[in-house]
Every structure is written in structure tokens, then in C-alpha cells.
Chain A
Amino acid sequence: MNAPPPGRLGRLAATALAVTALALAGCSAGGAPAASPVDTPSDTLRYAAPSAGRAATNDPHGLLPGESDIVRMALTYDVLTVPGPDGAPQPRLATAWTPDDTLTRWTVTLRDDAAFSDGRPVTATDVLFSLRRMGGKAAENFGRLAMFDLAASSASDSATLLLVTTAPYAEVGTALMGATFVVPAATTDFTAGLVPGSGPFRPTGGDAQTTVFERNDEWWGPPPPSRVIEVRAIADPAARVQAVQSGEVDLAGSVPAVSVVPAEAAGFTAVRKPGATMYPVVMRTDTAPFDDPRVREAVKLATDRQQLLDTVFLGQGELGNDLITPTDPSSPRDLPQRTPDLDRARALMTEAGLAAGVDVTLHTTTAYPGMDTTATLLAQQLAPIGIRATVQIGPPDTYFVDVYGTEPFYVSFLGGIPFLDVVRVALTPGSPTNETAWADPSWASALATALADPDAATRGDKLGELQARLRDEGGYLVWGVGDRVDLAAPGVTGVSSAIGFGAGFVDQVTPPS
């Protein structure tokens, strides 16, 4: 028979592979010089933004699952206030927000020099329309504007807005921070594309992955250093790292901790954003055995926080002190760090009548990297005090439907949001997302008192005390907070270290020269 020798086959395959690769690479090498002035002019910033892997949404007021969508909105539209470097609100479209004596009626003054891309000036009517639209989509945006009575709010004149809150609320600047994207009044269709905005950039094209923005030279704010920003939505964190390391993009948002050290050695800049990622462990305060505060304290004392931080975040972050928002300006900074104390934890378990131990199920998922490891490690750490935790890993698509806000013991997720946002989402009695079943009436009334305090300093102290009480009595085990790290190519500057919505603003980033 004329069978080929075995070696021939391998050679054939290898040759085919190499020829194809070389041919295609050759084609592109020929095309590269012509293409490069278009692809990488020094006034273009190419940003690989984290995405949820979903098709882009064009509705700025509903659910914004991927950060790439927030970035697109933040370039296109103005917001009322933005988080500053310390997390406190800074003016943007709103230049001032002042209350009456009751702290329930707020006069918000708007810039008079902002205009939509279709030429119309931005007025209080547009702002009110946008806020009401957000209010109508409360189910999708975590009730972001729930503190306002938007029906009773009104536009006083073209540049002044009267915002009414349902109860005294001193932190209106924070409430308007980040997501209050302003669109022209009476806009109804948000599915066809981005509607005219008054932001620092204007969308000019793109495809399913990329939106190309050009600088809006009429924008009222500081002139952005780049003329063009290409926002690419890339779901895979490893692909974002590869993209910046191979020079395909200039900036990659939120890269895996493991890639940071090698990238820095190769000359890339790692921009660290402390406090961005948190996997708090939820213990429902209305369900046994966690309805006993001694059991909750025992769990907090049995946890080896350093081991969790080193394993889950590879040490890139801070130890948790059970404070739910450690980077919030009002979070208390002077409390001693909680350290493992197994003897005390065992004593507490005995006091709670659980000297013989207890069986529990610890739920977790793989929605965010390390959530599963968190549960596995914690289950091991709790064994010595008699808590026999069975780890159950749920599918990521239904975790936030089936487990979140339902199960008594699970690994949750919080990503760099301010204290009052956590309060609204997770610490409001009766809310389906009150995951720890936190319903202490004295705490709630102390919160109302704090929010009715017009003095920023004493209000901050009061909010800090609330967080300290929650640390000791509440159902959250906060073992650590992970940094978010963005990777920038050499020469890229101005990447903000803000977290949460603040991370979505890239208009002042300088592209590589």
C-alpha cells in the first residue's frame, strides 16, 4: 500500500498551519503602515472596558450591567454630580444644591452653558424628565432615586430645579452622584441608539463591541486631552490584559490580580483603586442559628481574614474590619482591627447553646472570581468552632434570583458603592434586598436623625457610629476588600482612582503620545 510514513502527516499539518499563519500575518503586515495612522493616532484613547458580555444597552436609566455601558453613558451624557477623589460629591451639571430648613426641599442650580448635541440647551425640564425616568425604572436601578418625591419636584426656571425628598435627607449631592444621565425631555425611544447628550464626547460610530466617540468641542468642562475615545466592551479579563500588553488598546479596566506584577515589570502602569470589590458573607439575622448575635460574633472572630485576603485577592487589597463601606468618607477609621480569637468564638458558641456544633449550608457562586474560594476557605475556618458548613456553589445566572436576599448564609457581592447606597439597597426594612434582615428600629431612627442633620461634620460622625454598630451587631462578615486594578500603556495618565460609578468616567484620561 502507498501509506504515507507517519511523520508526513505531522509535517503536512504543521506546514499548513505555518503557511496560513504566515500568509495572513503577511497580508496584515502589508496593510499595517497604511492603517496605523487611522488606528493609533496619538490623540486617540483605546479603552478595553469591562463588560458583562451582553449586548450593549442604550438606555441610560435602567440596568447598566456592564461598566462598558456606564462608560458610554458617561461620555455621552452629563450627570448632575460626580464622586470626587475622596468619594464626596463634586459639581458637574449641577453647580450647587442647597436645602431649606427642613432638608426636604432642595434647590439645585444647573449650569446655563450646557447644550445637547442637537443644539438645544440643557434645561431643568430635561433634568427633571431624566430623573423621573430613572424613578420609573426603580426596579432596574436599585431604586436609586427612592429618597425623592419626583412627582412633587418641579422645574423652577430653566436653570433651577426644586427637588423634594420624602424625609429630611442631607446627602442629596451624593444621591445625585454618578448615574443621573441627562437626556432631552420627552425622549421616548432608547432602543435605536444613544440619544443626543451634552457630555464631553459624542458617539460617531462603531460596531457590536466598540463605540467610537469624538470630543464635543462645545462641552462646558475642561477640554478632554483626547480627540477620539474608542470604548471596547470586553467581557474576559484575561483578554483585556492581553489587549493592553500587545498594544491593541491603551488602557484596560479591571484586570486580574495575578497579571499585575508581570505587567508592571514590563513597563505598564497599574492604577490601583482601593475598596472596589467586596464579597461580604451574609448571615440573616432572622434565621437560626444566625438570629443569635453571639453566633454572628463567633463567625466574625473565627475568620482568618489574612488567609482570605491572600488567597482570594492575592493580597491586593485591605483586611476587612466588618465595616460595610470602608472607603466611604463617613466610615469610622479608628476602630481596632478584628483578629481571629478562636477561644472567644468557641465560648460564644457555647453560650448560644451550640457547644455541640451546628450544620449550615454556605451558598456561593462563580459570578465573580474568588467567590467560590471565599466559601471554601471560610467553611474550613469555621470548622474549629463547631460550625459545619456545607458549601453549595450555585449557577451564576440565577444566583441573584434564588440565593441573594433569600438564603440565610451566603457569599454576597458589593462593588465600591457609598454607605447610603448600601443602606438604600440592603439595610432598608421590608426591601427584598435587605439580605441580612436588618430591621433594628433604633438604628433606623438614628439613621433618620443623621440624615436630618444639616451639619456635615456631626452628620459624618453619626453615620460613622451607625456603621460601627452594624459592624458589631449586623449580619455582614466583611473579611476584606479587594483593589481594582486598571492597566495603562506607558504614557497614559489621568486614570481616576475612583470606584463605583466614578470608575466609568474616562474623559480626562490622556492617551499615549
Chain B
Amino acid sequence: MSLRVAGALLRAGALLLAAAVAVFAATAALPADAIAVRSGGRIEGEQLAALRAAAGLDRPVVVRFLDWLGGLLTGDPGASLVSGRPVAELVGQRALVSAVLVVGALVLAVPLAVALARSRGTAAGVLVVAAAALPPVVVGVGLAALLAGGWQLVPPVSLLPAGRPPWSRPALLVLPVLTLALPTAAYAAGQLRGTVADVIARPFVRDAELRGVPGPAVALRYVGPLVAAPALRVLAVSAGALVAGTTVVETLFGMSGLGELLVAAVRTRDVPVVQAVALLAAAVVVAGLLLADLAAAATSSGPARRGRRA
């Protein structure tokens, strides 16, 4: 068991490192660097080279990566190549907004996904697939037209009150959270429907139902443990998708979170900022996968297996 936990932790660390390398390499491979974009064709030759050297961009990519990694491990993620502001400050200022969106979307998406995953029938399946396939921007515009335009329940933009927590006007969170949650719930449900159907069809579940065990108890004691590990895995990937979804949602509803920061940082080749935000997103996914691994380890000797033997 402890060996398995150690293995899972090791795998999580390796995944994070791989993500960091991949993101760094991808950003470095983009045409033009931060200095070129910042100076927008206004300078050339020696001037350009001097600015590059000042920003440390004249060093080989491997050296830059190791320098960045060293900084990160000692708690300093560096400074923006565009504004000179500390990355920790830029991320810290915005993390709460995005976290509220992602957590809010998860709180909504998980029960919705459970409900959808248990549903059976072709129509339900088609609906789930269709909803999962909708791009967030379409969902967002549609929801805004409905809830803000038609019914006028909530404002069409989410301008959070300055200097107060993002949830101090909850109505502002409705559109962005729903826009993130609905396609994610549909995606998760689509992934889990097959598994859930298989488990429900197992004899011990039918047994329990025939014995008169109440529905929720069946779900919790007999179905839940078998679905837990794949569900957590889907949840981890969904959480990553939600973080990615903030890039669209924040722009659409006028919010300044990590999504907006990431889009701008990629556009301006602001590598330290890209790294920090991308790594945070990766950490969310990896942490979720780690939890799924641990859950799988814990449930491998759970009641469901005993039930199967019985």
C-alpha cells in the first residue's frame, strides 16, 4: 500500500516536471520572443540584442529552463518579461477569481454529471454528447442571451467588485460558472455512462435492489466504490479542462483571472508567466489523478469486491 502511494507521488512529480518541460519548449518554439513582441519592429540590431541580454533571453533554452526551475524550487517564479512585475504577484492577484470559477463549476458539474451518467436511453445519450461537444463560447453566449438578455436574472458581464471577494455579488458568478459547468458535466457524464451502466448491470447490484436496499444506499455502497477511481480520473481531467475554459469565459464576461493572464502571456511570449499559470493548471490535473490513484488503491479491497465474491 505505502509502496503504491510512493509510486503515485513519484508519478505525479514526474508528470509535473514533464508538463513544465513541455510548456517551456512549446513557448520557446513560438516565433518571436518577448523582447521582439514588446518592441514591435521599432528597434533592430544592437539595441534589440542589448534588451535581449538584459532579459536573459540570449542564453540557451536549456540554461533558461534550469534557471527558471531553480528559481521555482527556491520559491521565486521570476518576473514578467513584459511589465517587470513579479510573477507571484500577478498570479496571486488573479488566482482567487479563477479558483472561484473552477470550484463553483465543479460543485455544480459533479452532481449534474452523476445525474446524467445514470440516465439511460438514446435521447439522453445524444443530448449528453451534443452538450459536451458545444464550445464554451457558444454555451456562454447562449446562456447570456437567456439568463441576462431574455429573463434578466443576472448581469451580462461579471465585473467583480474591486477590493472585495469575488463571491460578494454571487449573481455575477452565475453565467461564467454555468458556462464552465454545463459542457464539463456533459463530458464527464459521457465518459462515465458506460462504466455506470456496466456496474448497475452487475448481479450484486440487482441483488441489492431485489433485497429492497434503498436506491441511494445502492449507489453509495455498491456502485460508488467501483466507479470512484474512474470518476476521480474524469474529475481530474475535467478540472484541467475547467482551468483551460477560464481563458474563454473570463474574456467573454469581462473578468481578470488566470485565464486572461495566460492568453496575454502567450501572446506576448512572457515565458515566466506562461510557465507559472500552465504549471498551476497542470498541478490541478496531476493532484486529481493522484487522488484517483490513491482512491483506486483504497477501494481495491472495498465492499464492492467483497460483494462480488459473495
Mark A residues whose CB is within 8 Å of B.
Answer: 1, 3-6, 8-10, 12-13, 16-17, 20-22, 24-25, 27-29, 31-32, 35, 39, 48, 52-59, 63, 139-140, 142-143, 190-191, 205-212, 230, 232-236, 239-240, 242-243, 245-249, 396-398, 400-402, 404-406, 425, 432-433
Inter-chain contact A191/B162, CB cutoff 8 Å: no
Residues of B within 8 A of A10 (CB): 127
Cβ-based interface call for B171 (8 A): yes
Residues of A within 8 A of B267 (CB): 53, 396-397
Residues of A within 8 A of B269 (CB): 397
Inter-chain contact B172/A207, CB cutoff 8 Å: no
Inter-chain contact A35/B83, CB cutoff 8 Å: no
Contacts A6-B124, A20-B178; A432 near B43 (Cβ below 8 A): yes
Contact mask for chain B residues 36-50; partner A; CB cutoff 8 A; 1 contact, 0 none: 111111111001100
Cβ-based interface call for B135 (8 A): no
Nearest to B80 among chain A residues (CB) is: A55
| Least CB distance, B252 to chain A, in whole angstroms | 7
| Least CB distance, A233 to chain B, in whole angstroms | 7
| Least CB distance, B83 to chain A, in whole angstroms | 4
Instruction: Choose from B119, B169, B257, B260 the contact partner of A35 (Cβ within 8 Å).
Output: B169
| Least CB distance, B206 to chain A, in whole angstroms | 11
Nearest to A435 among chain B residues (CB) is: B41
Inter-chain contact A207/B256, CB cutoff 8 Å: yes
Closest 3 CB pairs of A and B: A209-B256, A6-B123, A28-B171
Instruction: Choose from B32, B82, B90, B170 the contact partner of A27 (Cβ within 8 Å).
Output: B170
Secondary structure of the A contact surface, majority rule? mixed
Inter-chain contact B41/A246, CB cutoff 8 Å: no
Inter-chain contact B264/A59, CB cutoff 8 Å: no
Instruction: Choose from B32, B121, B161 the contact partner of A3 (Cβ within 8 Å).
Output: B121
Residues of A within 8 A of B171 (CB): 24-25, 27-29
| A142 vs B43: C-alpha distance when bound (angstroms) | 9
Inter-chain contact B251/A58, CB cutoff 8 Å: no
| Least CB distance, B5 to chain A, in whole angstroms | 36
Instruction: Choose from A13, A405, A406 the contact partner of B112 (Cβ within 8 Å).
Output: A13
Contacts A24-B170, A139-B39, A397-B32; A4 near B162 (Cβ below 8 A): no
Residues of A within 8 A of B119 (CB): 3-4, 8-9, 12
Inter-chain contact A234/B254, CB cutoff 8 Å: yes
Instruction: Choose from B41, B122, B169 the contact partner of A406 (Cβ within 8 Å).
Output: B41
Inter-chain contact B124/A9, CB cutoff 8 Å: yes
Inter-chain contact A209/B255, CB cutoff 8 Å: yes
29 A–B contacts from the bound complex (CB under 8 Å): A9-B124, A9-B127, A16-B111, A21-B147, A21-B153, A24-B171, A28-B169, A28-B170, A54-B83, A55-B261, A63-B38, A142-B42, A190-B84, A191-B85, A191-B86, A207-B162, A208-B97, A208-B257, A209-B159, A209-B256, A210-B159, A212-B162, A232-B254, A236-B251, A239-B253, A246-B157, A397-B266, A401-B41, A432-B42
Inter-chain contact B169/A239, CB cutoff 8 Å: no
Contact mask for chain B residues 79-115; partner A; CB cutoff 8 A; 1 contact, 0 none: 1101111100010011001000000000010011001
Residues of A within 8 A of B111 (CB): 16
Given contacts A24-B174, A208-B256, A248-B155, 12 further A-B contacts (CB under 8 A): A4-B120, A5-B121, A25-B153, A25-B174, A28-B169, A28-B171, A55-B85, A58-B85, A242-B157, A401-B31, A402-B31, A433-B42
Cβ-based interface call for B212 (8 A): no
Inter-chain contact B256/A233, CB cutoff 8 Å: yes
Inter-chain contact A404/B41, CB cutoff 8 Å: yes
Residues of A within 8 A of B83 (CB): 54-59, 191
